[in-house]
Structure 1
Amino acid sequence: MLSNDDLIHIRRRLHQIPELALKEEETHDFLLETIQTFPQTNLSYREIEGLPTAILVRVAGSNPERTIGYRADIDALPVEEDTGLDFASENEGQMHACGHDIHMTVALGTLSYYADNQPKDNLIFFFQPAEESEGGGKIAYEKNAFSGEWRPDEFYALHDTPTLPAGTIGCRMGTLFAGTSEVVATLTGKGGHAAYPHQANDMVVAVAQFINQVQTIISRSIDPIESGVITFGKLRAGEINNVIAGKAVLEGTMRGLTQTMLEDLTQRVRDIGEGIARSYNCQVDVDFKQDAYYPVENTPALTAKFIDFMENDASIDFETTPPAMTGEDFGYLIHQIPGTMFWLGVGETSSLHSATFKPDEAAIEKGIHAITSYLNWRMTTGEAQDV
């Protein structure tokens, strides 16, 4: 089993070689080389055609009644690191600013434990590319990565957070992360001279009304005790100050705590687009792109067991956490397979996705302890069907 010194070394090397979605070649090779140093007696591997940087490892159980999956994401972000660490990123403009180096290290430590200590049930470890973009979890699922003996009965994953002390586990019933959908609205009218507005059809005015009306959806179209977000972050319209813009392109994001809410928000945005088209005699095309980023809606029965264990194990620090409006493609996987996602605290530092994000490495060993303790307990209780 990997020692704490081994884990720190692994994490720091992974931190030095961040790679963007679907380009995680060096990361893949380092992970595979590390896993191949573990006892191989009960390990087998599976490749995913068309997703070459993914790694699937199966640990054969001694007397299996179920197959339990564990996912760790492996990609990085296009962020220029500004931590001043001796082991900072070697790849210009790329950084593990979301802590996936921590995620991978915890998964390797957990896999190492079960390579040395054969589990009762079968385990599947999924080192997943392209979480930050491209939806690697959905790609893997649609390529039948989880079929036959490789299909988990239940799936787990963590995400690190600076809002909890290092090593603290956080979770909640219901939605942990919101679902997300990109929104692109294109409004087409007629350009013209600024001095003759009656001869044109001004899309700056139309898009302004579209934005204002969409911003009433959250306050007037969803239950006040629920949460949603619609944010427009990019607008392109016009070329020069004295020409009326005949076209406007608006880009933004929607977040909702359930898939039903996201679908309701989508319909309301479409309705408003249709109304603006009629009101301003223009064409309004609204496109949505959700792909893999479904809400992370934790499976109720399974999550209740997880929380009950974490709350009652004196060796684990646990907190019930509120939902977050950040997105995660693990939501897609647990819409297909029962599962639970949880937080691992990494101590107070700057926010996720920031250039100065510096997680506390003390979280790694504590995270492995919490996960292996839970899985050992889980493998002695219930049936796969009880989720």
Structure 2
Amino acid sequence: MTLLNKEDLIHIRRHLHEYPELAMHEFKTHDYLLETIQSMNQDHLEVREIPELPTALLVYVAGANPQRTIGYRTDIDALPVTEQTGLPFSSKISGIMHACGHDIHMTVALGVLSWFSEHQPSDNLIFFFQPAEESENGGKVAYELGVFEGKWRPDEFYGLHDNPGLPAGAIGCRMGTLFAGTTEVNVDLIGKSGHAAYPQNANDMVVAAAEFIDQVQTIVSRSVNPIEGGVITFGKLEAGTIRNVIAGNARIEGTIRGLTQKMIEHIVGRLKMVANGVATSYGAEVNIDFNQGGYLPVENNDDLTKRFIDFAKQDPDTQFVETEPAMTGEDFGYLLSKIPGTMFWLGVDDDSQLHSATFNPKESSIEKGVESITKFLEYRMKNETN
């Protein structure tokens, strides 16, 4: 195969879209990516697989005169969503869809890799095709396996996420935090069940859970600087079995969002205080568990991001949009906490939102994304010495 052209890229994207796979089960996706990569010019490429993370792929592109190693990451998993787009290339896998646009992400990465397979870069490049972004924090897993060591450790890391609210092919970015960090919260309240007619002999965890949820609403409204912002959402509450039995147990499940790790830790501390207060007030046992995994805030490196934005603003073929931070989560934040880098948006111009069953990104964004990213990487390699 020669350099991937527009038709090739659209064909690749549609194939990936038809066969989505969930986190840590992207085996056919892995095989298709590997087949596509192996069809490229191999003169400067080295492909690496990871036995402990079998759906991941890394590709090393040897630079002609390397001063640094630049990493580029794309995520490859899909979501448990039943597609409702009606497209002729809709998902063929029941209940699974690329509703977050990772098919676009992968296709853009392959386009950029194809270019550098035919045009040897001056610096070394590492392309990381990462499983499990949507769940199970594949970036953190890879890092903790020691994947990014020796020549496989980038000096700086870049990655994109598609954005339906931006024009197709536009590049969006900002200094500081792009995406919030996310932490799962599970709360178990344990009291004593009993007959509905004799509440004095029971300890009602429906009432305790209601009090807990009510008090939590004051954390963001009264304990968080409104300029900084934070979110606590409880999306699931389970208690009881029947209307005339007092529930002795309740479980609440939710999520915390914060634009900085400091904010997330502040909210966690306040939630613990509320849990302790409700336990004391109701004579109950309240156990609260937090799981952040690899979903740290995506905090862009100042120097690298300024350079990226400067390029995007001055490049006549790139439409740049300065964006606001988003409360959505992304596990690239974990890698950016270990390796400096920048995440940015690629506009895909769609009325439907990310994660929706009708999400249908514009395919014209693919070629524009490949061009902008390729030009930025060449700009980075040719014009900078540090």
TM-score calculated relative to the size of structure 2? 0.98
1:233 to 235, 239, 255: 235
**Residue 381 of structure 1: how far off its partner (Å):** 3.3
Give deviations 1:18-52, integer Å, cap 9, x for gaps.
01111111111110100111110000022223100
Aligned to 1:271: 273
Partners of 2:350 and 2:359 within 8 A in 1: no
Secondary structure, counterpart of 1:351 in structure 2: coil
- AA at the equivalent of 1:179: G
Partner of 2:137: 135
CA distance in 1, matches of 2:246, 2:38: 64
Aligned partner of 1:158 among 157, 160, 184: 160
Quote the residue 1:197 is aligned against.
199
- 1:359-378 to structure 2, matched below 5 A, reads 359-378=361-380
Which position in structure 2 is the counterpart of 1:335?
A: 337
Corresponding letter in the other structure for 1:217: I
Q: RMSD value over aligned CA atoms?
A: 0.8
Query: Is the Cα contact below 8 Å between 2:205 and 2:249 reproduced in 1?
Result: yes
Q: Aligned equivalents of 1:13 and 1:307: distance in 2? A: 32
Question: 2:77 aligns to what?
Answer: 75
**Structure 1: gaps spanning 5 or more residues:** none
* Residue ranges of structure 2 left out of the alignment (5+ in a row): none
Q: 1:184 aligns with which of 173, 178, 186?
A: 186
State the match for 2:43 in structure 1.
Answer: 41
Partner of 2:175: 173
Q: CA deviation at 1:119?
A: 0.4
Of 116, 122, 125, 1:123 maps to 125
2-structure distance, mates of 1:359, 1:274: 46
In 1: Cα distance, 2:34 partner to 2:60 partner:
13
Q: Distance in 1 between matches of 2:142 and 2:385?
A: 26
Secondary structure in 1 aligned to 2:382? coil
Contact persistence 1:296–1:334 (CA under 8 A)? yes
Counterpart for residue 208 of structure 2: 206
Q: 2:207, 2:20 → 1: CA distance?
A: 44
How far is the alpha carbon of 1:17 from its aligned partner?
A: 0.8
User: 1:383 deviation in Å?
Assistant: 3.9
> Match of 2:72, SS?
strand
Residue 302 of structure 1, aligned match among 280, 301, 304 = 304
Cα deviation code 1:329-375 (max 9, x no counterpart)? 00000000001000000012311111111110000010011101111
Q: Give the match's secondary structure for 1:130.
A: coil
One-letter amino acid of the structure 1 residue matched with residue 333 of structure 2: G
Q: 1:18 aligns with which of 20, 29, 53?
A: 20
SS at match of 1:249: strand
CA contact (8 A) 2:178 2:326 kept: yes
Q: Give CA-to-partner distance per residue, 1:83-111, whole Å, 9 cap, x none.
A: 11111111111111110000000000000
Identity, in percent, stands at: 65
Please give the secondary structure, in 2, of the residue aligned with 1:270. Answer: helix
Does the 8 Å CA contact 1:178/1:255 hold for their aligned counterparts?
A: yes
Secondary structure at 1:123's aligned position in 2?
strand
For residues 140-199 of structure 1, the C-alpha deviation after alignment (integer angstroms, 9 at most, x for no partner) is 101111100000000000000110010000001111111001100001111111122111
Aligned pairs (5 A) from 1:236-315: 236-315=238-317
Q: 2:319 aligns with which of 317, 320, 323?
A: 317
Q: In the aligned structure 2, how far is the partner of 1:204 from the partner of 1:94?
A: 35
Aligned length in residues: 384
CA contact (8 A) 1:66 1:383 kept: no
Q: How far apart, CA to CA, are the structure 1 residues paired with 2:383 and 2:291?
A: 40
1:156 maps to a residue whose letter is Y
Find the residue that maps to 2:346 and give its secondary structure.
Answer: strand
1:87-106 equivalences under 5 Å are: 87-106=89-108
CA contact (8 A) 1:180 1:327 kept: yes
2:172–2:323 contact (8 Å) kept in structure 1 = yes
- Contact 2:29-2:76 at 8 Å conserved across structures: yes
> Paired residue for 1:381, among 365, 379, 383?
383
Deviation at 1:315, TM superposition (A): 1.1
SS in 2 for 1:82: coil
For the residues of structure 1 that align with 2:148 and 2:280, how far apart are their CA atoms?
47
Residue 216 of structure 1 is matched in structure 2 by 218
Q: Answer yes or no: is the 8 Å Cα contact 1:70–1:124 preserved in 2.
A: yes
Residues 180-222 of structure 1, C-alpha deviations (whole Å, 9 max, x = no match): 0110000111111112211111111111110011111001111
SS at match of 2:111: helix
Aligned to 1:379, the other structure's residue is in SS state: helix
Aligned partners of 2:148 and 2:385: how far apart in 1? 20
Of 134, 146, 149, the match for 2:148:
146
Contact 1:130-1:136 at 8 Å conserved across structures? yes
Residue 2 of structure 1 corresponds to 4
Q: Contact (CA 8 Å) 1:49, 1:143: kept in 2 or not?
A: no
